[in-house]
Chains A and B, each alone.
Chain A
Amino acid sequence: MAGGDLVAHVATFAGALRSRGVHVGLGDEVDAVRALTLVDVPDRSEVHRALRIAMKILRRDWAAFDESFARFWAAAPPVRHDSRDTVPSPRPAGAALLRPSMSVEGETSRPGGSPAPPEEGSPGYSPEAVLRRKPFDQCSDADLHAMERPMRQLARGLAVRRSRRLVPARRRETADLRRSFRRSIGTGGELVSLAYRARAIEWPRLVVLCDTSGSMDRHARFLLAFVVALRRVARSTEVFVFNTALARVTGSIASGRIPRIVERLVSAVPDWSGGTRIGESLGEFVSAHLDRFVTHKTVVIILSDGLDRGDTTRIAAAMKAIRSRARRIIWLNPLAGDPRYEPTARAMAAARPFIDRLLPAHDLESLERLLPELA
């Protein structure tokens, strides 16, 4: 096979992979071409192995890779310039889920979608102290506006975690010999003052899964507002919402006023305040997103009342999988604000063994208790 031919092959193949959502860069194409000059090109299985190695295909993309490969490097000469169209690309489930959140912009103008200016009633006289203990399910949209400031303050207090990595610091934690000694050159090798190192500050990594089913409707708006405020501080925070299905909405959280963002989220999430399928939604999170977003440093926060009549074994299996990767799992349950509450609902009972902390989340004050848990 001529060299130019090979390059064209690889480029078209890479295009097909991209159209299936497999990330392949130009550098990977270059590596693929180089690799193909080093192996037996007529040997299909060797070409298959070499391409997978040189294009750095992750394990989770193997199925897509294998399918594309089967179409492309079949016995027939595979270079066709329309080949991008001939490869039917079933849209990955994740992309379908994301669509609603991408159409957000178009929907903001619908009547009622934009936050109404605070009108009659509460806002003027809701002092923050009262607001802090006002149950979310009794709050009005106007309260959401009033809560924006305290929520931002709360989020800023997000307790920081210290990394094990040492960075130069003024705090007197560990002497930094390298810098101290360098400094001492000026004083003839006499260590007059020591330089120090201290443990770096590390923002917690958060993944939030918020239940937006009917029973959670009022709470979900306020909790999402809080999550948006958290994301302002901890930039790596990832946000998912679920009811009968799961959707990643991180991309929809732009800058701007928090209540407005929440309104957009509400209108973008399909089936907001519909039914709940906690087990299926968590299972979907595990299979599609766990590897990518949850590491041993991640704190997973689940916001749900756990009212679901579905199959509890699915919940337990999904929670177990999350447990095996995450640093902590915190479940925020608005019902837990009632001192008589016991996690006996079937879904809650199934999830309970895998939860590090079960905390109430019915008003602003209860959210304050969450922050130290994230450190």
Chain B
Amino acid sequence: MEVKRLCAALLLAGSLAGCATSGGNPADPLEKVNRVVFAFNDGADKIVFTPVAKGYRAILPGFFRTGVSNFFSNLEDVWVSVNDVLQGKFQQGLEDFTRVIFNSTFGIAGLFDFASDAGLPKHTEDFGQTLGHWGIESGPYVVLPFIGPSTFRDGFGLLFDYKADLVYWATDSVPIRNSLYATRAISNRANLLDATSVLEQAALDRYAFVRDAWLQRRRNLVYDGNPPREPDESDDEPTK
């Protein structure tokens, strides 16, 4: 279901590429369509997700929310280690897999993140980053319905992330699986509530701000925190 929606969104975005006029950013030729989807996501967020996340935060105690967040993060670490290996980062892959072993046992099914305290910090890896690691360009920026900012490459990567998601394999029962998805989404959204208030304050144009921040963030992740300087960046006054 979600995959179909994703494909449809990517196809839609792709087919509209020809007719959309480009705005300022060359990385965002689909700006017109993206802005519409962004506005839609924003509306859904305001009406549904933010209130639910706030309720979640108001009702449940901090240790419980951390536990939920840790639990899903631990499941995710399996795919993180696979992507480490796919990127040739064997040491990090071993460390991240050790995190899973450690947190699944001593951390009681991942509810506690003892590995971080033991000097094995969490990493963020996904298939989009793996593709980026091997030199695949991110392609045009695209805002996916409900999912949010992405690019052609990362959107394609999401299909693999979705299939490799342990929650997807955890159970045959669709209602249980969907409740797990929902819980994870609420937990993730609740973790971002503070960031949203900063974003509201920071941005003149939220769409452009989110886009430019997202693209920088992904680039940083692909290069594991040490991206080469863009020619643009080192020069205060680019001449062209």
Q: Is chain B found bound to chain A in the same assembly? A: no
Footprint of B on A, CB under 8 Å?
none
